Structure 1
Amino acid sequence: MMTFHHHSPRKRASGYSILQGFIRNNDNLSAVISAQMEIWKFKITGIYPEL
């Protein structure tokens, strides 16, 4: 039980760091993501102009 409690948050944190590192190291991916975010923002503001 103790090992489970200690293992679970560490696993989640390391998975998050790996994801963050991957995004940080992959400039092409981050460019694609930010472009996609801009498109989503445009679509959302187009649908809901008050935002």
Structure 2
Amino acid sequence: MTFGILCNIRSFWLGAHYSSYNKRLCLNLFPCVTLWVCAPGGNQPKKEYR
């Protein structure tokens, strides 16, 4: 199980989201700050640069 924090100006929302494909739970307690947890075999979030 892995976990981390992701800061992204585009994630201006509050709440939780689970992805069964990525086996990952994302939780935004504060706007633009995401706490994520991946189950074994899950995919970590990748930072997109545009």
Give the TM-score band, short-chain normalised.
under 0.3
Structure ID, larger Rg? 1
TM-score, with length taken from structure 2: 0.18
Higher strand share: 2
Higher helix share: 1
TM-score, with length taken from structure 1: 0.18
